[in-house]
A and B are shown apart, each in its own frame.
Chain A
Amino acid sequence: SQTIHQWPATLVQPVGSPLSLECTVEGTSNPNLYWYRQAAGRGLQLLFYSVGIGQISSEVPQNLSASRPQDRQFILSSKKLLLSDSGFYLCAWSALGGLPGAFFGQGTRLTVV
């Protein structure tokens, strides 16, 4: 069966420090991959999606970037964190050409101090 791993679960980082969140999917190949952010008391906002290795699309301009170095690996990064980057980050995958509906990781709680 397919599983999605996201780490770390929690992270406290100072303003101006770099960020790297990693997400991997097992049990499937060529998935669509997504990064969402959930700010406190708000809904989910799609940040990036990827339909293949090296193919990244950004939904909103921001201080973050994403990369997909391998088929089942999706990385969210920042060179210098801002206070406004705090939030709950969720990685998700869906099957290319399969039944729609995304499957989510357990999330990373990022607090920028």
Chain B
Amino acid sequence: AQSVTQLDSQVPVFEEAPVELRCNYSSSVSVYLFWYVQYPNQGLQLLLKYLSGSTLVKGINGFEAEFNKSQTSFHLRKPSVHISDTAEYFCAVSDPKTSYDKVIFGPGTSLSVIP
């Protein structure tokens, strides 16, 4: 079964500094990959997704992620963070062969942007 690892449970970073949130998944077969953001007491919002094609995916709010098949990774990056980026970030994976979006989520990384 698929699993997702987010190595960092908490990431503090100063405002305007770059950030990378790490994500690894378990299977080397074809997958769909996602990053979601959750602000306090809210639902999840899709930041970006990788389905196929270019390994560098650009999303909303200036985030991007790079798919690395050999390392089974999908790290999320932003060159300069803002206070408003403080939130919980979830990496997720789903199997293209299933008939529904059985999305498996990682445990989440809490990003805290320090003024």
Which residues from chain A sit less than 8 Å from chain B, CB to CB? 6, 32, 34, 36, 42-44, 46, 49, 51, 88, 90, 92, 94, 96, 99-107, 109
A46 touches B90 (CB 8 A): no
Extra inter-chain contacts (6) besides given A46-B104, A94-B100, A103-B46, CB under 8 Å: A6-B43, A34-B103, A44-B90, A94-B101, A100-B96, A101-B34
A100 touches B49 (CB 8 A): yes
Number of A-B contacts (CB under 8 A): 59
Secondary structure of the B side of the interface? loop
Give the Cβ gap from A37 to chain B, nearest Cβ, in Å. Answer: 11
Counting CB contacts under 8 A, is B51 at the interface?
Answer: yes
**Bound: A109/B105 CA distance, A:** 19
Query: CB-nearest residue of chain A relative to B107?
Result: A43
**Bound: A46/B104 CA distance, A:** 8
B107 touches A101 (CB 8 A): no
